[in-house]
Structure 1
């Protein structure tokens, strides 16, 4: 059960991380299209699990490793954006959201 505070913070982080990936995507990730699908935040607001959808999906593992290597830089940029709204910027843990690949696989099997 997610509290109101958790849901507000997760929506804020999702919006701002989406902007960061949109603006910094060319420089850091080689032009891959990365979108933030879901952010789940811990009850103490100290850890945010960020689920990313990466296009093209064939190189998603490599792109995720690049994102994980740049986690400190992404968190710093996020801190400048949400510094006035949050007391502590949460630690970021990135994961691949493969729900779109799963849906595509089901569609292929049904047709």
Structure 2
């Protein structure tokens, strides 16, 4: 039963944080496209690890990540207003490179397919 509750809490917080990032944060360093890929809230609801994927150049990624980390207090306050929980979790923002890694693997596979076609 608790497993389903934690999943619902993770998804609700993910939805709210995504909305806050796209509509509420007015930081000029936030220029790259930011996507919240996953949220893991601890069982005691004290911490929420937010995984974000940032699309853009390397400088934009670093600037956007630092902007998100510096606005974690604002995000926590907004989540506290929007989601009715006993404790509002502390927001820990982590960079998720899974999409870039998947795209790299896909390009390697495509290049192998091209090499096999040329060898035939």
TM-score computed with the length of structure 2 as normaliser: 0.80
Match in the other structure for 2:95: 96
Moved more, 38-47 or 2-11: 2-11
Task: Give ranges in structure 2 of 5+ residues lacking alignment.
Answer: 112-120
Is this contact kept in 2: 1:6–1:45, CA < 8 A?
no
SS in 2 for 1:3: helix
Match in the other structure for 1:69: 70
Deviation (angstroms), 1:57? 5.1
TM-score computed with the length of structure 1 as normaliser: 0.86
Is this contact kept in 2: 1:64–1:96, CA < 8 A?
yes
Match in the other structure for 2:79: 78
Cα RMSD of the aligned pairs, angstroms, is 1.6
Alignment: residue pair count: 107
1:32 aligns with 2:32: yes
d(CA) in 2 for partners of 1:43, 1:61: 30
User: Which runs of at least 4 in structure 1 moved beyond 2 Å after TM superposition?
Assistant: 29-32
Task: Give ranges in structure 1 of 5+ residues lacking alignment.
Answer: none
d(CA) in 1 for partners of 2:7, 2:45: 10
